Structure 1
Amino acid sequence: MNDIGPGPESAKKTLRRSLAAVRGELTADDVREAAAALAARALGLPELAHARTVAAYVSVGSEPGTLALLDALHARGVRVLLPALMPDNDLDWGAYTGPDSLVRVQHGGRMALFEPAGERLGPEAVLGADAVLLPGLAVDTRGMRLGRGGGSYDRVLARLERAGARPALVVLLYGTEVVERVPEEPHDLPVHAVVTPSGIRRFH
């Protein structure tokens, strides 16, 4: 009997654990310096330079930092949408108007998230975005993204696909998180670009 090895779901879990462990070793200074470099790189992306509406997220813990980028986009006059996690793991959206527009929300036993404090615009609000910044743990040379495993952004991507919306899909990562290959499942979709502190890589 042939051993066909672990399925993509199991392989994803293993890879997530190892990548999260590396992130866990980063210092606050590491995260802060990377966030500044990421913002500078991302602001040069034509997809963000010409965007009127960007769906993004607030980084937590040792994730590649997004707040500097959110503030810079808002200062440019870009409409920035941020997610609010719903009980079924789907995402609602609200507008970001600066650090004071965020509220810390504890979701059960999981990590607390920073979410928009204002009006909820509904899950469909993401359909109006010109670019969507996706959280992730890795992306491979084909543009396949390894998410955090909650499935929230799989729903967002499926919603965009169903509606025929074609925003630019961009992942913010540390340089070591661009890998040769991530395990994929049938529902996984490639992204258009990855931004790291040292540069930008595009996928076709």
Structure 2
Amino acid sequence: MAVPSPTTTKSELRTEGLRRRRDFARSLDHPTRFSLEQALAGLVLPHLIGARVIAAYHPLQDEISPMPILAGLRQGQRAGFPWFADRDAIFLWREGPAREPSPWGVLQPAPESEALAPDVVLVPIVLADRRGVRIGHGKGHYDRALSHLRQSGHPVITIGLCWPDQLVDGPLPAEPWDARLDAVATPNEWVQCA
């Protein structure tokens, strides 16, 4: 995607990003999708070597899956997933697996699973730019959860995961409360964000 127009709203960009994600994902046959998600894991895993706790997400139908990354974690590394007490709560990360429906219908860990403070968070993307500005689904869940984690003094690295069509060249609009990504990864590119 080229540089967004300065007059394009975040809502319009979100709609465009969701369309791009849907169209790209649905154009893939199963073996190609599997191969691309394996390539993503190959790019991301070397950046997780020193992490103890890696937070991921249970992917929606068209989102690129972090599951091959989790399958490649080293012995002793732990995986967490978002856990919502209710629709208005700031989510926590709890140890996986994610098997129960959340208030949003996405799978999450059981409420008795251990709460984790991740060292690295793998973040789903609707759109992102090369500066680390991310547009998500518009509810602010990741912005609030990451802010809460960082305010507790816990250092965390954020890596956005997306299909190539979701990474834009030009700057996306950002609000002061938007949590910037430290890096963005697609199946064929690692972008270290400034």
TM-score using structure 1 length = 0.80
Q: What is the 5 A alignment of 1:3-152?
A: 11-25=9-23, 26-27=25-26, 29=30, 30-45=32-47, 48-73=48-73, 75-87=74-86, 88-96=88-96, 101-105=97-101, 107=103, 112-117=105-110, 119-122=112-115, 125-126=116-117, 129-152=118-141
Q: Secondary structure at the match of 2:17?
A: helix
Structure-2-length-normalised TM-score: 0.83
Q: What is the CA–CA distance in structure 2 between the aligned matches of 1:92 and 1:69, rounded to whole Å?
A: 20
Name the CA distance, whole Å, in 1 between partners of 2:126 and 2:107.
Answer: 19
Q: How far apart, in 2, do the equivalents of 1:163 and 1:117 lie?
A: 24
For the residues of structure 2 that align with 1:106 and 1:143, how far apart are their CA atoms? 28
Map residues 151-190 of structure 1 onto 2, 5 A cutoff: 151-179=140-168, 180-190=170-180
CA RMSD of aligned residues (A): 2.2
- Structure 2: which amino acid aligns with 1:115? Q
Q: Tell me, which stretches of 5 or more residues in structure 2 are unaligned?
A: 1-5
Letter in 1 for 2:34: R
- The structure, 1 or 2, with the larger RCO (C-alpha pairs under 8 Å, 6+ apart) is 2
CA distance, structure 2, for counterparts of residue 135 and residue 186 of structure 1: 20
Contact 2:84 2:91 in 1 (8 A): yes
- Aligned partner of 2:3 in structure 1 is none
Distance 1:22 1:199 in 2: 18
Q: Deviations over 1:85-141 (max 9, x none)?
A: 232142133212xxxx3314163xx5x31211362445xx33xx2111112112212
Distance 2:14 2:130 in 1: 17
Read off the aligned partner of 1:72 and give its amino acid letter. Answer: G
Letter in 2 for 1:50: G
Paired residues, number: 183
| Per-residue deviation, residues 21-77 of structure 1 (Å, max 9, x unmatched) | 1222223525433211111111122xx11111112211121101111112222x532
